[in-house]
Structure 1
């Protein structure tokens, strides 16, 4: 870790002391944005009771945050080139902090959902450019290690959210799930104004039509999944789905013709990049659905308290912290697709064991299953991210970072919407959701094994 802040005469990027502060800003902002996507999951049964709403509607406290983030990540990544990444990051951090205060002060589900939407905008502004910020903060010789650390922060934030949420609920009421962000956000803002490197604005136009199409495309698809849980395939589901697919076609048409496209489609011509993106989304669908569905299973199905349910999640982030850095170092020496395939195999075993979990299971039965998922996901994620970012040209790395953040957030939103659909149909359908998660991991593993020769050939060249 200390070598990340050593300064050599030939280094580009920031000097060591400023580099340390800038890295702290990125870690704090990323952790808050990612944690807030999962910290509420463990509290959803509690929020449903205290706000007097159905469990399927309570899921939208999580889903609206993920949905807004997923639908605006690409737009913010493109906007950063025009206004400067440091301005966008500081602005997103400020919006997120103020929205967190609004969430804590909410006294109705409507006000809470509106505040969560604004929170999602602030989170998207930070997450969309976080990976690319490392390029101007760290020297080229340390870029791989810095990106690996950033991926670990994201993975840890996603996995640790339920445990932290349960601990807060044990000590305080649910508004503190959001209020805790306020002092951390203010501290990060002060540091950001001092430490983040300044950049000049680039000339060019913002692709407003492309941004609008991407937002409608993503939000329409997830909304269609939510409507499916409230009835059969009616107009309430088919209309947003049709709108989403139509916007997808128009978005591709627009990106092919725009002077400054929101997403250069050339990056998808590289099969290694495209396959890694699909694998990442499938894995995040499984993890996102698990992190929303298991709290309901532990609390509503097994009758456990929020703190007990949170403690059962603890092995996941702990295992991820132990295996993630080790897997990242292995990926620098060996074929990263082999490492990530091994991780997906272990993750699949963990998901299968959770899907077969009975309601009378002991804590020991749950803990080893959750730990197995954390081990597998820790081994999978960093090598897959390295494969995805490293497979595109340097000038498209910022766009690749935006796509990486988008598929992650979109996958989580799809997983959350799937659980909401299952809850609306029947509380007992949670086991079915876990089996669907297993199917997603099976497909991801098959794709990961298929791409191994592609990466091997590239390394040989």
Structure 2
């Protein structure tokens, strides 16, 4: 029996190209993120900025993504996954091109903000479209391949960014995202499947409250990291918490709410989303803080730093297919606990290493982190989608992506806080915080019980 959210089963050839579109799209966002992290010191030098100020290129993108994530997921359920996804992909591509041509840091931030709005539709609907594209019995393996493609992109990203920055200006980083995004848009236009769209209105007040809640809370954390005035970040926290309470009161009894309170009442769904937030927070703290440590403290070149940091996603590449197969056979809580426990050990070893450590010693510790992260990611994503009804695929995918982006944005903010508040040992403090988040995620993951069966 066909799932209710699909209009018709696509042909085998169309499935192939649709899957290729999803892989290219999500890989493009991964390359974009990894490349920008490596380019941060270069952007700081180019525009005459402090390290913490240059991080706004990452912060503003993540803030907009998080603030609009649930709205994009809801629009996907209402207007159609394909339509919203393609519009977001095309907009992401155009903004990448404009970022490459940005004449000033202010214009770059503006284009990155719009690009973040577009990226929200890609990230929130990617797994939902995957569920509409791949037969249920192959979904775990497809998620493993997608995790591997993201890891390949993230592995290539730092090295490729280092090579591009060695050979040319920072503009080339965004030109790369433009080319890949254009390719994915063309293929996706002819291959992505149509989905049934329930006839219900878009909840504009809830969308505004959602953006206000997550935007203010994360901006408040960023404000602390950037040493802004106390009244400002306190006011942001108060406004964000207040908006969140109003949003909860508004949606608590609604069917198919924009904020998926109905799904969060499912224990294994809520635990999986929480574990995902912890994992991505830990990962992003390391990704943001280590480039400055490698280049400014240890004296690595941009290319050397990119090559060393590539050990983490390279380990994900090697581990993701195994993780995908395990997710079809073993309880997700067991795999997730072991994976995040391994990640915590790797981060702890990075924090404890001496200041004169060589590139190989750093690389194998990063590789251990990558193995642990890969073992966690695919089973956890499968659990999030599998524990939600098929009619709430968009909401489940949005919650999964929102947890990832909140974790990444929180990780960026905490890394910014460490870099700005600690003159010495800033990276060590950041890695200790990352280790703590990973350990908490391992405990949360262990609380899950039983396997998940993915319905079509």
TM-score range, shorter chain: over 0.9
Determine whether 1:294 maps to 2:290: yes
Change (3 A) 1:177 1:94: same
For 1:350 and 1:152, the matched residues in 2 are separated by 20
Q: How far does residue 402 in structure 1 lie from its aligned partner after superposition?
A: 0.8
Determine whether 1:220 maps to 2:216: yes
- Structure 1 residues 271-280 or 138-147, which shifts more? 138-147
Match of 1:275 among 271, 275, 282: 271
- Structure 1 residues 31-40 or 283-292, which shifts more? 31-40
Q: How far does residue 200 in structure 1 lie from its aligned partner after superposition?
A: 5.2
Q: Which residue of 2 aligns with 1:5?
A: none
- SS of 1:333 mapped into structure 2: coil
CA RMSD across the alignment: 2.0
Q: Which residue of 1 aligns with 2:246?
A: 250
Q: Which residue of 2 aligns with 1:435?
A: 432
Report if the CA contact (8 A) 2:256-2:392 is conserved.
no
For 1:97 and 1:182, the matched residues in 2 are separated by 5
- Report Cα offsets for 1:393-437 as digits up to 9, x if no partner: 333333111100000011001100111122222342221111111
Q: How far does residue 312 in structure 1 lie from its aligned partner after superposition?
A: 0.5
Q: Which residue of 1 aligns with 2:346?
A: 350
For 2:234 and 2:437, the matched residues in 1 are separated by 23
For 2:137 and 2:389, the matched residues in 1 are separated by 17
- SS of 2:401 mapped into structure 1: helix
Q: Which residue of 2 aligns with 1:4?
A: none
Q: How far does residue 156 in structure 1 lie from its aligned partner after superposition?
A: 4.5
TM-score by length of 2: 0.93
- Report Cα offsets for 1:247-274 as digits up to 9, x if no partner: 1111111212446521341211111111
Change (3 A) 1:186 1:448: closer
Report if the CA contact (8 A) 2:145-2:320 is conserved.
no
For 1:367 and 1:146, the matched residues in 2 are separated by 28
Determine whether 1:371 maps to 2:367: yes
For 1:231 and 1:17, the matched residues in 2 are separated by 53
Q: Which residue of 2 aligns with 1:381?
A: 377
For 1:376 and 1:54, the matched residues in 2 are separated by 33
Q: Which residue of 2 aligns with 1:145?
A: 141
- Structure 1 residues 319-328 or 150-159, which shifts more? 150-159
Q: Which residue of 1 aligns with 2:132?
A: 136
Aligned length: 446
For 2:374 and 2:99, the matched residues in 1 are separated by 31
Report if the CA contact (8 A) 1:343-1:378 is conserved.
yes
- Report Cα offsets for 1:132-186 as digits up to 9, x if no partner: 1123322333333323333433454455533332232123211010011222222
Match of 1:204 among 200, 206, 223: 200
Q: How far does residue 357 in structure 1 lie from its aligned partner after superposition?
A: 2.3
TM-score by length of 1: 0.92
Q: How far does residue 206 in structure 1 lie from its aligned partner after superposition?
A: 0.5
Report if the CA contact (8 A) 2:386-2:452 is conserved.
no
Please show how residues 230-269 of structure 1 align to structure 2 within 5 Å: 230-231=226-227, 234-258=230-254, 261-269=257-265
Determine whether 1:101 maps to 2:80: no
Determine whether 1:426 maps to 2:422: yes
Report if the CA contact (8 A) 1:205-1:260 is conserved.
no
Change (3 A) 1:169 1:457: closer
Determine whether 1:28 maps to 2:24: yes
Please show how residues 136-215 of structure 1 align to structure 2 within 5 Å: 136-158=132-154, 160-199=156-195, 201-215=197-211
- Structure 1 residues 145-154 or 415-424, which shifts more? 145-154
For 2:286 and 2:127, the matched residues in 1 are separated by 26
Match of 1:455 among 412, 437, 450: 450
Report if the CA contact (8 A) 1:38-1:62 is conserved.
no
Change (3 A) 1:159 1:338: farther
- SS of 2:328 mapped into structure 1: helix
- Give the gaps of 5 or more residues in structure 2: 1-7
- SS of 1:39 mapped into structure 2: helix
Q: How far does residue 118 in structure 1 lie from its aligned partner after superposition?
A: 1.0
For 2:280 and 2:48, the matched residues in 1 are separated by 30
- Report Cα offsets for 1:14-68 as digits up to 9, x if no partner: 1111111111111111111232223200111111011111111101111111111
Report if the CA contact (8 A) 2:64-2:116 is conserved.
yes
Report if the CA contact (8 A) 2:278-2:438 is conserved.
yes
Report if the CA contact (8 A) 1:14-1:138 is conserved.
no
Q: Which residue of 2 aligns with 1:329?
A: 325
For 1:348 and 1:215, the matched residues in 2 are separated by 32
- SS of 1:40 mapped into structure 2: helix
Q: How far does residue 338 in structure 1 lie from its aligned partner after superposition?
A: 0.9
- Report Cα offsets for 1:225-258 as digits up to 9, x if no partner: 1221344871021000111111111111121244
Match of 2:410 among 399, 409, 414: 414
Report if the CA contact (8 A) 1:281-1:408 is conserved.
yes
- SS of 2:92 mapped into structure 1: helix
